[in-house]
Structure 1
Amino acid sequence: MQHLPPSRAQLVYLAFGPATYHQEACFSIVSALTHLDTAAAEAMDIQVFTDNPEPYGNLPVTVHVLDDETRNAWNQPHGYHFRSKHVLLRQVLRQHPMAVLIDTDTFFRASPMKLFQRVKKGQLLCNFVGGRYGGNQKCLLYKNLLTILQQRGLADCQMPLVNSGVIGLVEADAATLDHSIAMMDEFYPLARAAYTLEEFCLAVAAYRKLELAECTDVIHHYWSRKAQFRAKIQAWLRKHGNSPLSEAARADVLLVNDQLPRPPALHRLGYKALSLTMPSRERQFARELLYGCYPYPNEFDRACAPAWWDKALENLNDRYGRMEPEQLRQCLRHPGMRLSLGDRRKDIEAHLLNGSRS
């Protein structure tokens, strides 16, 4: 790990694997810099730990190249890849008094310095504070771990859960991460199917020891509807990837907003009327396809069209079973569908049929 001046706040990313994660990280970093006052820029470093340094060449960040051996070691003893988040943040806090680890599927609504204002001794910064542990008694984490946690005095049904898309701590509270890592290692065999084990263990480690702070006003974490937000970000990268910090690029960052593009209510009523010409099982499919066809004034909302079409087909398949390519072709060429989709039908057919073959 490269050494940086110890007095500056550290914004940390862990990005590896498919290109989409690097795209997310690059946009998140540019959004942070876009909202950062010039005067505050000297108070913060951005560190990126990655298996591919190339996407970050045009950004003012410190890149740490991670090899497979290191990443695999961070995921042991069970190969649990979210464990590496806590291992990394623990290492950074050995060198720096304050750090925030942020997931790649995020972008900033306000200055990143607002995050660091909420990182203080005795307080854990998370993305948001969720419901109570006892709120979902069908959850694997509840059924398999409650008794153990109660017997040890670590948690009860009133424990608040957290979303770890953002984790911020000061060095004095870094032992919280040691505790969360130890619990991941112990409890993984009991809850290996629980996708949220990592953030659950963080909540347990902090319970009754640290106050919780959240930051949804500063960060948008698009863990839901990823396809639409990734489409916006990829459109921004196609336009500005060669000069991500230009004035035009920063201006367009603000257009990549946290809203899912939906047509106005009057148009949605019109789509519903058009869909009545379709067989009943395909009406919802037609309406959802039309969400991607609407001429949104925001160019990055328009870029979501293929994501809307993919989601429409996914929903149709979930409701009625997977549609074979020839069935899909016949559906899209139904007279009612032709009328509804108009000139966009051929684009939709080409896109969806190409995807259905993969």
Structure 2
Amino acid sequence: MYFLYGKKSIYRQEAQFSILSALRHQTHRESFSITVLTDQPQALAGWPVRVVALDEATLADWMGTAGYVHRRKACAIRLGLELARKSIFVDTDTIFLRDPAALFERVSDDQCVMDQFEFLWREASKRKDYTGLVSQLAASGGTPPASLRLYNSGICGMTAQGVAQMDQAIGLIDQWAHLHTQLHTLEQIAVSFVLADKQVAEARDCVHHYYSQKDYHHAMLKLFFQTHGEHFSQALVEASGEVPSHIPPLGLVDRVANKCKLWRLHPDLRKIGRYYLLGRTPRPGAYLKACREVWWGKALAALDKQQPSQKKRAQLEKLWGQDRDFRAFAERRAKLAD
């Protein structure tokens, strides 16, 4: 089950590619079906999915009175749970590494599936962004035990009985929603609260949830769909295997070579230099090469933020001064900024 809304094409491509990865790993055709809750049903015409169309009024209602955007996700999960005996909600920025049927085997009335464990309440409650929530819970007598486990909800699998739990989670979100500008993960915290007495299995061995590496995966997805188009076919399913599911680390030789170059830089410049070199170091395949300008964009963003002295800038010029590709990229970026 996916929830896709908004006008940005990259989110549509995230969902489409995730679906392709699920189908590529599917062993038995009838083992699961795919449902997409969306305000853009035409985007999935011809795809082997069930579409549940959402209108603007529904999406607005799902945001609640405080305008917390991720409340919509909790509402989407709740609606999806009414459509099948077992449901696995999947964030669009997710790539399947194994047959999704394996996740359904972990779901029962007594056990749910979540993306992965992140931290205990005792750790979370010390974070700056949790300050408001911690204070509100203490004032209301609702402080959870220190051992409460908080999960990422990029995968959320339950049986139909989970509707009641999602109602509880939405109730918690509404109690806390005024804090959403401080703590944007209120939705997954609320889900973790209502699962406190449940057995929870993790899904991370089956998926790669690339929320922290979106820019790189977006670059690869754009290249993939530019190359193959978005019209569904079995050939498109097979072609999706060309795209790396992870950004691989550099090999030992490249790491040592880059480290030597970075030691020549002032310590304040090494982050900038590291991003530049990550883009400069050759990587196999067109999809990883497509990430080059993402690394370079990070280098220039770090440079803009730091505003180093002319003396320090001279060190950077020695690092990339002869790199025509990088300089051309920097010029294009500057023109776009203007």
Place the TM-score, normalised by the shorter chain, in its bin.
Answer: 0.7 to 0.9
User: How far apart are 1:350 and its partner, in Å?
Assistant: 3.4
User: How far apart are 1:275 and its partner, in Å?
Assistant: 5.3
User: How far apart are 1:127 and its partner, in Å?
Assistant: 0.3
Distance 1:148 1:125 in 2: 31
Structure 1 residues without counterparts, runs of 5 or longer: 1-10
Listed as ranges, the matches of 1:1-358 within 5 Å are: 11-37=1-27, 40-136=28-124, 137-138=126-127, 139-140=130-131, 143-148=134-139, 151-152=141-142, 155-190=144-179, 192-208=181-197, 210-247=198-235, 249-274=236-261, 281-318=268-305, 320-321=306-307, 334-339=317-322, 342-357=323-338
Deviation string 1:29-57 (CA, Å, 9 cap, x unpaired) is: 111111112xx222322111222233322
Structure 2 residues without counterparts, runs of 5 or longer: none
Distance 2:132 2:86 in 1: 30
Distance 1:163 1:350 in 2: 39
User: How far apart are 1:194 and its partner, in Å?
Assistant: 0.6
Deviation string 1:246-268 (CA, Å, 9 cap, x unpaired) is: 43x43442342333244333223
Deviation string 1:194-242 (CA, Å, 9 cap, x unpaired) is: 111000000111112x111110011111110210111122221112224
Deviation string 1:313-349 (CA, Å, 9 cap, x unpaired) is: 223334x15x8xxx9xx8799354223xx34234322
Structure 1 segments, 4+ long, off by >6 Å, are: 276-280, 330-333
Distance 1:187 1:333 in 2: 47
**Contact 2:117–2:149 (8 Å) recurs in 1:** yes
Q: What code does the residue aligned with 1:195 have?
A: H
Cα RMSD of the aligned pairs, angstroms, is: 2.6
Distance 1:33 1:258 in 2: 15
- Percent identity, aligned pairs only, is 26
User: How far apart are 1:244 and its partner, in Å?
Assistant: 4.6
Q: Which moved further from structure 2: 288-297 or 18-27?
A: 288-297
Q: What code does the residue aligned with 2:92 have?
A: T
Distance 2:72 2:98 in 1: 27
Distance 1:189 1:287 in 2: 39
SS for the counterpart of 2:183 is coil
Q: What code does the residue aligned with 2:196 have?
A: Y
Deviation string 1:149-203 (CA, Å, 9 cap, x unpaired) is: 7x34x72111000101011110123211010000101121245421110000001
Distance 2:46 2:237 in 1: 14
What is the TM-score when the length of structure 1 is the normalising length? 0.83
Distance 1:336 1:190 in 2: 45
SS for the counterpart of 1:266 is helix
Q: Which moved further from structure 2: 303-312 or 83-92?
A: 83-92
Distance 1:276 1:114 in 2: 47
SS for the counterpart of 1:224 is helix
**Contact 1:30–1:244 (8 Å) recurs in 2:** no
SS for the counterpart of 1:165 is strand
Question: How many residues of Structure 1 are paired with residues of Structure 2 in the alignment?
Answer: 332
Distance 2:132 2:169 in 1: 15
**Contact 2:15–2:93 (8 Å) recurs in 1:** yes
Distance 2:320 2:224 in 1: 31
How has the CA–CA distance of structure 1 residues 148 and 129 changed in structure 2, closer, same or farther, with 3 Å as cutoff? farther
Distance 1:21 1:304 in 2: 18
Distance 1:273 1:206 in 2: 49
